[in-house]
Every structure is written in structure tokens, then in C-alpha cells.
């Protein structure tokens, strides 16, 4: 307990300047707070006029010491009417709080102000933060998975610290689709730096009516976050800690050494004649039986510590927190590690009954040790590496060294390695374990994010509030990559590097540093009034100025003579021939006026209008201003007299909205002509476009909110239509103009439409309390227009064209496997001397000409955009126990599994999964897996065989906890065990169906985690 005492005393000392003190006391008072049936845990009891107070325990009991006999106790709890109790010398009281319909009507932060949830007319989703905390993830964005209808959250990979992608109501543009985050009134495009435990509320603004107040930055949706504040009463101190392990799951079954040699032997026989070299190689004494995935993955660890102190009196409230999150990934040698330290202080003070000031400030430090987690990743290497090759060389091998003990080129020898087939029999993909060992790639980020604000209430009734808010987002980054030379000498490279290993030849150091500073200043004037108990009016006007400046410098050196950590700095690099330097800077600014007005008549008929005007430096002078209006209306039909006798109907509201949002998230200076000078000659690199303007997103939304059985059951349904126009496209100019970069034009149009449903049921009448939250959303994404000079946007395996979703997969459609030569001759009747053989892949002949051609026989074969997203959450409590779980999933989404292509269908001697054991081996043996061969069996074509259904359902979180009360000076101690990603159901054969990559080449998978934790309240 000494450590806890130390922290508590330190926090108390920090806040002495606030003048926290206790009054004179005469009595010790105990009591019980309930709603008349069940106790109310967490209710606040404060001695009026002081900061002295406490909270009820799980059973509704409380104790206050040294209270004046004539004191007045203020008892309050969310969802109930507050009560003031005069003690009059009593030492025991029992309090029954009444439900407060207005407080149950939750207040939601929207735009630059707040509204009662019952008065909302736009598509606004409020996230259950209490259950959100149980997700135990590093990135706050990822905690939103499965929580909100229409919000798709996808981790780019499972590697610690890798980014998370959020899509609100689909992909609306070919460019930046990321949402705007508003944290305590300050905009940001990233919240990875935030600590999940600091968050008080999250609101998602999904339609234009809700988000139009943010104008040009809101086309991807808006996520509004407020952080926790101090509360009136005695200082409280919380400790939250968890620790656990992570494991890779759902790994593919790879061939062992014997199966691998058998498969290569068969591939040779299916391709060549003569002596089979793999038959001759059987029984080699230097063969291993390596499972490279088992060698690559280990048990990772996750830990988190959060310390929070808060309190205050009627004039001043404060909160201070310190957090640490660390995650060691599941790849060996701990070079995939993420660490974050957060410090936050939030203070607000009522200087008078009209003046309020405050600050919300966070300092954070992130360190991310990176391994190759996507594309040509470590995982891809582990899938491809032959099992007959050992991880380490024999110590008696002449090429062995302590610095580099790993195998590289298969069965490498210093002499004679190029003789015969020695070099090509076993594919020379790199050793993934060596690559993990030698990886030295670290990114550091130092960030200050926060605001200071002031408010003044005008008029006699204080209904007019002026608020000024100044925010900063200042970050410094330092990225450093040392590429150490290793591996076997293959004779390549420059003459100066003769004798060096083929990997990272020569060694090199790349280092970059930079800063980014965003200043936000906004001023608002907010008026609220209620006239004659029927006319509820609120109006807001404001202005905002945002400016951003970013700069960076970079340098690299090569051929370091010494490579220990002490010498991995630029000064110790090679000669002047190995020096590269760079530096750049950019800036942009946004100036805005905005206004909003809401009117409610008789609490039944609702209307809201917004207008924002933005001027952005990212556009030419004639198009700098954009205007973004919205209007929405609602009808609370449940409050009509003809429904007043329907007891089971608590709420029924119809909503409709229309609005326009913008997107200014384009590169700086895109509208300008770029020129360069070389050898005294000035040339044009890109022609500018002074007519460049905003991408615009016009949205309509129709919704219904239904509450039944005293709002125990709440159902929300939405239909939306989101039409994005003037999408920026790169248009190439005719070659007669010269070799210039494409000019950016406004030309594209994309439509997203869909249906959303949320169902929430809460039952708190008995000792066993539980809640169920389910949501689903459909999405139809379609490109409606491109430029005549750009009818198709062609990717490696995708094509974007009118009438199809963005980035639809495009290629040949597999019909089966050719079973015999007669089938080949019939199907390819128009092809002279077809090269196909029995056992090869048969593709659909779309035009029936007997020829499989790229011009006539390719079609759209899949979409990376899901048709359906869904989530199901459950939470419950009984006495001291609590239990919760969350399922999340997507349906109708495809992924191009390039890992499958190169592992099971490539013509090189990589390893295979056990699926290859069912390969075609004679007529009618199979119609799904082609023959193995060292020649093309049809697998070189981009086809439907590699486009897999990536739909899945995953148990994202499950948690069981127990809370103990009043233990050795601890008010409450909760112990819990939590699991993440423990179960996944999918037909996808890659390592993880959840990825943002259009092509899965072997992505670092999400790991299953088991955590043990405690939460102590003092």
C-alpha cells in the first residue's frame, strides 16, 4: 500500500494551490440511496457549499465523516432528479431519487454546442463509453468496431501501432475518406495519440444535417469526443492496470518437408521429362523440417497502467491522469513493439456566476518499432520459405558467423553454388527470422494537443453565452531506419561491395525529423430560450480560423564501417558518394463563418438549419469559398394527444434531413502549375488548374426513433442517400504537350446509399441487470461518373468505372479445371495450338469465340466494399459480478488473396499450404485446384480463384469482472479477465480477413489476447 499512498499524496500536493480544504465537522453520517426499488451505485453526495463529498458503493451505501450538524447534503445521479437533504442533526438518512425525464433525455455534444438527444433531427449516434472501455485496445478508433450502425472500422494490420481506418457510410471519394475528429472542440485527423480511459463521450455525426456545421472537412463524417472532467466533491484517485498475452491464431497449415518434396517432385514430372532432381535430393542429411510460421510467431504481451485523480468544489474542478500502454507484438525478437505515454490535465473554474475558464491539455509520447507488416512482409516470407531449409546454419558451416548465424540462400556454399540446378531448385526468398532479427525501424512522436477556453454569460437570465476557444496541435516526429547488411554473397552489387551479403547491400541509415503545428481559434455566440413553455429556440453563430505549418528534413548515409548501435548515426556513414539530403515544408489555412438555429414547438415539432462558409488556401482565389447548408426536421408523434393513452409507447419520432458537405483534404498547391529547372532549362512538370474546387457531398436522410416500455427498448432506423460530386481525378494530357504529370480536375461522381438499424434494450429493474445493443447497416456503393479522358481507373487487380463500386476487382472468371484434351479443344476452339493442358484452370469465355483474351473475357469479379456491417454487444451485472461480450462482423466483402496465389498457385518452388494436396492429379480428380507445375497452369492471370469472400464474424471482446468494496482503504476494487479476438468465423483462407489492403500479400494478423486486470478506486 505504500506505492498507492505515495501516488495519492503526490496528487494531493499537486492540487494544494487550488485551495482544497475541509470545513469544521461535528457528525459522522451514513446512508442509503435508491430509486425506491434497487440501490443506486455511484450516486454523488456532496456537502453543499464545500468540496467535501463521497459516492455510494455498489449497494447504494455511503459514509461521510466530520459533517456539520446543520449541513445540507446534495444527492445526485445521472438520470435522476437531484435532492437537497437537511441533516438537522441526523446521523443516518435514506434517500429515494426520482427519475428525471429531462436527464434521461441525454445531452449530446453536436457541433459547437449541445442538444438533448430527444430533440435531434439528424443522424447522430451516441457511443456507450462505459462498454467501450472494455475493448482494451491501443487505438481509440478501433474501440468503435461494431458499436455504431454505418461505421466500419478496420485495422490495416494486426501489428502494434499500425493505423486504423474508419469509414462512415461508405467510400465517397477516390481521395481521402477519413472522418474529422473533434476533441474538446479542437479538430484533428487522427486520435491514435489519445488514451481510451480519458474519454467521457463519443458522438458520431453521420449525415449532412448533423455534420454541416463543420463544412468543408465533414464529407467523411465527424466523430465528436469529449474528455473526462473533474467533479465536485472529495478528491478521488483511480488505478487501472491490465497485463496479458497475445497469440497468433487461425494460421494456415503449411506442408512439412516430406510433403513439400513430394509436391515438387510431382510438379517436375508434370512439367519436364528426364531425371527428377527432387527424387535425387530425397534423404539429404542437411534437410530440415521447419515450420516457418511457428518459428516466426511467439507470444506477445500487452500491458496498460492508468492513474487518475479528480475532484473539486463548486467553483473549480480538476482532473489529472497519467497513462502507459505497451504492446510487444507476436513476431520474434521484439522489433514489433508499440509504447505510448499520456499525461492529461483538465481544469475548469467558475470565476463568477457568469465567467468560466478552463483548459484541456494532453502531452503524449509514442514509440513504434516497426517490422514489415504488409505487402512484402515477414509473414509473406514465412509462407514462401521452403520447409527443408533450417533457420540457422550449422556452426561448422564455413559461411557461419556469430553476427549472422541465419540461413539465407538455400544450402549455400562458397564455391560451386551456380553449378547445375543447385541455385534454382529451392526458391531463394529471404529468411523471415533473419529479417525480423536485423530489423531496426523506429518511429517516435512527441505531441501536445489541447485547448484553453473562456465563457461569458450575458443577459439577466444568462441565456446568451460567448465562448472563445484556442487550440493547438503540435507534434514532432523522428523516424530512423538502419538497414544492416546480412545474408549470403550472391556475387551481385557494386564492385565496392564485393563479398557482402545480398540483403541490404550496402548497409544504410535513413533518418528524418519534422514538425507539424496546427492552431485553431474559434469564437461562438450561443443563445437559448424557452418562451411560454412551448417555443424552445436556440441559435449559434461563430467564426473559426485554422492554420497549419509542417516541415521536415531527411538524410541518409550508406556503407557504415561499424554497425553497433553506438555508431548508427549519420556522421559515421560512408563517403560523399553515399550522402543524400532532403527537406521541405508546406502550409495551409482555413477561415470560416458558421451558424445554426434550432426551433421546437411544444416539444413535438422540431426544425434545425445550419450554414457554414469556408475559405481554403488549397484552392485558387476564384474558388476559395465554399458554402455548406443543411436543414432537418422532426416530429415527435408520441407526444401527440391521440397517443397519450398508449402506455407502452415511450417515444416515436420521425426525422428527415438534407445537406451538403465538402472535402478539402487534397494535397497543398494542387491547383498550381509546377515547374523545375535543370541545366539552366525551365520545364513544366504539371499544368495547374485554377478552376479546381471542393468535392461536394449532397446527402438526404430519413430516420425513425422508437422507444418502448418506458424506453427500455429503443430502436433507430435510418435510410440515407449520399451523392458525392466534383471528385478530383488525375487527367493525363496528350503526349504532344510533353512528359508532364496529370492535371487534377473535378470530374467524378460516386453514390452511397443504405439502411441502418440499431436496437438497444436495457433492463435494470432487478438485481440482475443487463443490456443488449445490436446494429447493422447495408451499403450500396456505385461510381456514376468519370472523365471522358479517364473512363477507367486501373489498378493492379482493380478497376474503377461507371456502374461499379470503387476499386472493384477485375479479371477472368474461373469455371473449373480442364479434365482432358478434348475439353480444351472444345472450349478453346478459336485458339490455334492452345498452350493449356489437362489440369489447368478453365476460364469463362464471355463472348463465346473460343479464345480467352484480355479484351473480351475479363469481368468484374468482386468488391472490397462490404454490403453489410453489424455488431452485437451484451452487458450484465449481478451483485458484485459483471459480464459482457461484443461480436462484430462484415458480410458481402471480397479480398484479393495474393498470398494464396503465390503460395499454392505459383510456378516457383515456394512452400504450399495443405490445400495443394488436393491438386488435380488425373481426369475427374478435382475441379477446383489445378495441377502443380513449374509452368503456367493459368494461375498467372488475375482471376476469381484468388478473389475470396472475406466476410467474417469475430468475438472482439469478452470480459468477466468482480467488484469488492471497502477493502483496506480502497473504496472499490474490480478484478477482471478479458479476451480479445478469441474466435473468428470466416471462409477466407488468408491469415486475417480484416485488412484495409486491396491485395493481401501476407498481412500481419490480428492476435488473440487474454488479459488480467484490476481497477481500484480510492
Q: For 380-413, how does the pLDDT look when each residue is reduced to its tens digit (9 = 90+)? A: 999 999 999 999 999 999 999 999 999 999 999 8
Residue 78: its pLDDT value, please? 63
Question: Is 210 in contact with 168 (CB distance < 8 Å)?
Answer: no
Residue 268: its pLDDT value, please? 95
How many angstroms separate the CA atoms of 1015 and 882, rounded? 13
Neighbouring residues of 11: CB distance < 8 A, sequence distance ≥ 6: 235, 237, 309, 320
Kind and range of the H or E run holding 753: strand 743-763
Question: Dihedral of the CA atoms 128, 129, 131, 136 (nearest 10)?
Answer: 140
Q: Exposed, middle or buried by CB within 10 Å (0-12, 13-18, 19+), for 252?
A: middle
Neighbouring residues of 352: CB distance < 8 A, sequence distance ≥ 6: none
Which band of pLDDT confidence, cut at 50, 70 and 90, is reported for residue 598?
A: very high
How many angstroms separate the CA atoms of 185 and 359, rounded? 11
The predicted model scores a pTM of 0.88
Question: How confident is the prediction for the chain on average, in pLDDT?
Answer: 90
Residue 11: its pLDDT value, please? 40
How many angstroms separate the CA atoms of 177 and 61, rounded? 50
Question: Is 866 in contact with 152 (CB distance < 8 Å)?
Answer: yes
Q: Read off the C-alpha cell for 1001.
A: 500479400
- pLDDT at residue 57 greater than cutoff 80: no
Residue 176's CB: how many other CB atoms inside 10 A? Answer: 17
Q: Read off the C-alpha cell for 403.
A: 553476427
How many angstroms separate the CA atoms of 220 and 177, rounded? 5
Q: Read off the C-alpha cell for 548.
A: 497549419
Please report, for residues 124, 811, 858, the alpha-carbon distance to residue 855 in angstroms, rounded to integers and kept in the order given. Answer: 47, 11, 7
Tell me which fold the domain 106-227 belongs to: Ferric Hydroxamate Uptake Protein; Chain A, domain 1 (2.170.130)
Rounded to an integer, the average pLDDT of 344-372 is: 95
How many angstroms separate the CA atoms of 872 and 145, rounded? 10
- pLDDT at residue 706 greater than cutoff 90: yes
Give the neighbor-by-neighbor strand order of the sheet with 27-34: 61-67, 27-34, 92-96
How many angstroms separate the CA atoms of 472 and 475, rounded? 10
Please report, for residues 508, 516, 1000, the alpha-carbon distance to residue 586 in angstroms, rounded to integers and kept in the order given. Answer: 28, 9, 33
Q: Are strands 859-862 and 868-878 parallel, antiparallel or unpaired?
A: unpaired
Span of 11-25, 580-594, 613-627, 799-813 with lowest mean pLDDT: 11-25
Q: Report the Cα 838 to chain-centroid distance in Å.
A: 46
Which band of pLDDT confidence, cut at 50, 70 and 90, is reported for residue 478?
A: very high
Rounded to an integer, the average pLDDT of 830-849 is: 94
Radius of gyration of the chain (CA): 32
- 206-241 burial, b if ≥16 CB within 10 A, otherwise e? bbbbbbbbbbbbbbbbbbbbbbbbbbbbbbbbbbbe
Question: Is 545 in contact with 590 (CB distance < 8 Å)?
Answer: yes
How many angstroms separate the CA atoms of 321 and 275, rounded? 72
Beta strands in 764-856 (DSSP E): 768-778, 780-785, 792-794, 798-801, 808-811, 814-817, 841-843
Give the neighbor-by-neighbor strand order of the sheet with 947-949: 947-949, 894-897, 999-1000
Q: 125-149: per-residue pLDDT in tens?
A: 998 888 788 888 889 998 999 999 9
Tell me which fold the domain 2-102 belongs to: Immunoglobulin-like (2.60.40)
Q: Read off the C-alpha cell for 335.
A: 522489433
- pLDDT at residue 421 greater than cutoff 80: no
Which band of pLDDT confidence, cut at 50, 70 and 90, is reported for residue 372?
A: very high
How many angstroms separate the CA atoms of 191 and 165, rounded? 11
Q: 196-214: per-residue pLDDT in tens?
A: 999 999 999 999 999 999 9
Question: Is 213 in contact with 242 (CB distance < 8 Å)?
Answer: no
Q: Report the Cα 440 to chain-centroid distance in Å.
A: 25
Q: Give the residues across from 61 on adjacent strands.
A: 32
Question: Is 65 in contact with 54 (CB distance < 8 Å)?
Answer: no
- Label each residue of 69-137 as H, E or C: CCCEEEEECCCECCEEEECCCCCEEEEECCECHHHHCCEEEECCEEEEHHHCCCCEEECCHHHHHHHCC
**Cis-peptide, bond into residue 506, ω within 30° of zero:** yes
How many angstroms separate the CA atoms of 532 and 601, rounded? 10
SS3 788: coil
* 41 against 102, higher pLDDT: 41
Q: 238-287: per-residue pLDDT in tens?
A: 999 999 999 999 899 999 999 999 999 999 999 998 899 999 998 888 99
Considering only CA atoms, which of 155, 152, 163 is closest in space to residue 193? 163
Rounded to an integer, the average pLDDT of 523-544 is: 92
Where are the chain's structural domains? 2-102, 106-227, 257-290+813-857+906-945
Rounded to an integer, the average pLDDT of 593-608 is: 94
Question: Is 988 in contact with 948 (CB distance < 8 Å)?
Answer: yes
Considering only CA atoms, which of 863, 844, 861 is closest in space to residue 852? 844
SS3 228: coil
Q: Read off the C-alpha cell for 28.
A: 459522522
- pLDDT at residue 24 greater than cutoff 60: no
How many angstroms separate the CA atoms of 184 and 40, rounded? 30
Amino acid at each position: 500500500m505504500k506505492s498507492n499512498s505515495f501516488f495519492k499524496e503526490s496528487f494531493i500536493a499537486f492540487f494544494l494551490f487550488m485551495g482544497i480544504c475541509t470545513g469544521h465537522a461535528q457528525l459522522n453520517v451514513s446512508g442509503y440511496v435508491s430509486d425506491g426499488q434497487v440501490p443506486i451505485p455511484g450516486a454523488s453526495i456532496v456537502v453543499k457549499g464545500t468540496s467535501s463529498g463521497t459516492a455510494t458503493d455498489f449497494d447504494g451505501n455511503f459514509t461521510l465523516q466530520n459533517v456539520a450538524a446543520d449541513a445540507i447534503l446534495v444527492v445526485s445521479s445521472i438520470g435522476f432528479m437531484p435532492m437537497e437533504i437537511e441533516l438537522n442533526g441526523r446521523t443516518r438518512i435514506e434517500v429515494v431519487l426520482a427519475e428525471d425525464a429531462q436527464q434521461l433525455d441525454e445531452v449530446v455534444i453536436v457541433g459547437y454546442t449541445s442538444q438533448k438527444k430527444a430533440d435531434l433531427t439528424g443522424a447522430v449516434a451516441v457511443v456507450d463509453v462505459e462498454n467501450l472501455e472494455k475493448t482494451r485496445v491501443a487505438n481509440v478508433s478501433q474501440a468503435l468496431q461494431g458499436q455504431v450502425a454505418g461505421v466500419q472500422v478496420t485495422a490495416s494490420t494486426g501489428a502494434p501501432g499500425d493505423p486504423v481506418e474508419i469509414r462512415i457510410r461508405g467510400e465517397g471519394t477516390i481521395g481521402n475518406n477519413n472522418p474529422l475528429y473533434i476533441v474538446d472542440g479542437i479538430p484533428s485527423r487522427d486520435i491514435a495519440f489519445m488514451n481510451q480511459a480519458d474519454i467521457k463521450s463519443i458522438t458520431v455525426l453521420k449525415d449532412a444535417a448533423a455534420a454541416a456545421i463543420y463544412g468543408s472537412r465533414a464529407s467523411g463524417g465527424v466523430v465528436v469526443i469529449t474528455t473526462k472532467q473533474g467533479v465536485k466533491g472529495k478528491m478521488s484517485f483511480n488505478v487501472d492496470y491490465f497485463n496479458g498475452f497475445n497469440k497468433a491464431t487461425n494460421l494456415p497449415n503449411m506442408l512439412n518437408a516430406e510433403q513439400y518434396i513430394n509436391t515438387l517432385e510431382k510438379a517436375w514430372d508434370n512439367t519436364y521429362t528426364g531425371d527428377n532432381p527432387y527424387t535425387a535430393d530425397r534423404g539429404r542429411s542437411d534437410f530440415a523440417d521447419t515450420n516457418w510460421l511457428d518459428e516466426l510467431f511467439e507470444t506477445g504481451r500487452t500491458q496498460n497502467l492508468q492513474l487518475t485523480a479528480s475532484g473539486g468544489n463548486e467553483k473549480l474542478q480538476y482532473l489529472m491522469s497519467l497513462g502507459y500502454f505497451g504492446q510487444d507484438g507476436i513476431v520474434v525478437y521484439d522489433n514489433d513493439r508499440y509504447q505510448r505515454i499520456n499525461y492529461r490535465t483538465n481544469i475548469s473554474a467558475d470565476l463568477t456566476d457568469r465567467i468560466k475558464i478552463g483548459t484541456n491539455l494532453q502531452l503524449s509520447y509514442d514509440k513504434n518499432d516497426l517490422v514489415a507488416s504488409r505487402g512484402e512482409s515477414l509473414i509473406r516470407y514465412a509462407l514462401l520459405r521452403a520447409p527443408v531449409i533450417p533457420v540457422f546454419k550449422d556452426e561448422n558451416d564455413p559461411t557461419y558467423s556469430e553476427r549472422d548465424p541465419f540461413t539465407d540462400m538455400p544450402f549455400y556454399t562458397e564455391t560451386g553454388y551456380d553449378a547445375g540446378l543447385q541455385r534454382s531448385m529451392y526458391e531463394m526468398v529471404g529468411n523471415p527470422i533473419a529479417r525480423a532479427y536485423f530489423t531496426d525501424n523506429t518511429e517516435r512522436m512527441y505531441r501536445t494537443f489541447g485547448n484553453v477556453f473562456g465563457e461569458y454569460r450575458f443577459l439577466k437570465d444568462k441565456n446568451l453565452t460567448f465562448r472563445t476557444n484556442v487550440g493547438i496541435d503540435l507534434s514532432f516526429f523522428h523516424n530512423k531506419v538502419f538497414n544492416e547488411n546480412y545474408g549470403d554473397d550472391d556475387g551481385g552489387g557494386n564492385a565496392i561491395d564485393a563479398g557482402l551479403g545480398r540483403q541490404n547491400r550496402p548497409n544504410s541509415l535513413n533518418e528524418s525529423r519534422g514538425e507539424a503545428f496546427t492552431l485553431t481559434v474559434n469564437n461562438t455566440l450561443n443563445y437559448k430560450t424557452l418562451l411560454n413553455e412551448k417555443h424552445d429556440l436556440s441559435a449559434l453563430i461563430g467564426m473559426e480560423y485554422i492554420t497549419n505549418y509542417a516541415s521536415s528534413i531527411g538524410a541518409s548515409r550508406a556503407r557504415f564501417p561499424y554497425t553497433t548501435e553506438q555508431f548508427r548515426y549519420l556522421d559515421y556513414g560512408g563517403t560523399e558518394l553515399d550522402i543524400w539530403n532532403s527537406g521541405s515544408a508546406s502550409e495551409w489555412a482555413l477561415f470560416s463563418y458558421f451558424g445554426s438555429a434550432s426551433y421546437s414547438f411544444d416539444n413535438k415539432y422540431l426544425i434545425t438549419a445550419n450554414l457554414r462558409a469556408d475559405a481554403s488556401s488549397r484552392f485558387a482565389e476564384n474558388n476559395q469559398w465554399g458554402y455548406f447548408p443543411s436543414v432537418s426536421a422532426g416530429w415527435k408523434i408520441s407526444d401527440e394527444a391521440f397517443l397519450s393513452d398508449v402506455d407502452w409507447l415511450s417515444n416515436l419520432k420521425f426525422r428527415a434531413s438534407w445537406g451538403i458537405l465538402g472535402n478539402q483534404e487534397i494535397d497543398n498547391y494542387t491547383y498550381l502549375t509546377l515547374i523545375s529547372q535543370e541545366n539552366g532549362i525551365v520545364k513544366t512538370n504539371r499544368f495547374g488548374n485554377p478552376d479546381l474546387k471542393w468535392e461536394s457531398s449532397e446527402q438526404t436522410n430519413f430516420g425513425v426513433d422508437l422507444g418502448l416500455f418506458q424506453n427500455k427498448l429503443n430502436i433507430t432506423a435510418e435510410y440515407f442517400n449520399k451523392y458525392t460530386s466534383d471528385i478530383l481525378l488525375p487527367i493525363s494530357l496528350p503526349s504532344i504537350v510533353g512528359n508532364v504529370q496529370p492535371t487534377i480536375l473535378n470530374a467524378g461522381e460516386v453514390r452511397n446509399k443504405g439502411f441502418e438499424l440499431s436496437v438497444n434494450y436495457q433492463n435494470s429493474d432487478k438485481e440482475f441487470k443487463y443490456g443488449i445493443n445490436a446494429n447493422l447497416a447495408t451499403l450500396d456503393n456505385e461510381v456514376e461518373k468519370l472523365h471522358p479522358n479517364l473512363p477507367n481507373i486501373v489498378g493492379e487487380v482493380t478497376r474503377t468505372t461507371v456502374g461499379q463500386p470503387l476499386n472493384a476487382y477485375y479479371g477472368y472468371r474461373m469455371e473449373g479445371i480442364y479434365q482432358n484434351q478434348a475439353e480444351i479443344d472444345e472450349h478453346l476452339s478459336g485458339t490455334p495450338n492452345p498452350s493449356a493442358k489437362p489440369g489447368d484452370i478453365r476460364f469463362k469465355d464471355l463472348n463465346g469465340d473460343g479464345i480467352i483474351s484480355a479484351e473480351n473475357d475479363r469481368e468484374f469479379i468482386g468488391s472490397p466494399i462490404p454490403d453489410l456491417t453489424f455488431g452485437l454487444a451484451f452487458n450484465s451485472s449481478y451483485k458484485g459480478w459483471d459480464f459482457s461480450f461484443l461480436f462484430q462482423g462484415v458480410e458481402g466483402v471480397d479480398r484479393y488473396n495474393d498470398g494464396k496465389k503465390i503460395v499454392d498457385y505459383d510456378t516457383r518452388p515456394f512452400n504450399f499450404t495443405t490445400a495443394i494436396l488436393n491438386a488435380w492429379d488425373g481426369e475427374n480428380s478435382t475441379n477446383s485446384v489445378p495441377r502443380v507445375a513449374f509452368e503456367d497452369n493459368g494461375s498467372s492471370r488475375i482471376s476469381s480463384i484468388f478473389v475470396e469472400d472475406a466476410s467474417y464474424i469475430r468475438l472482439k471482446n469478452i470480459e468477466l469482472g468482480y467488484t469488492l468494496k471497502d477493502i483496506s482503504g480502497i473504496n472499490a476494487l474490480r478484478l477482471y479477465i478479458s479476451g480479445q479476438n478469441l474466435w473468428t468465423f470466416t471462409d477466407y483462407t488468408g491469415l486475417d480477413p480484416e485488412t484495409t489492403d486491396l491485395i493481401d500479400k501476407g498481412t500481419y494478423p490480428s492476435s488473440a489476447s487474454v488479459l488480467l486486470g484490476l481497477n481500484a478506486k480510492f
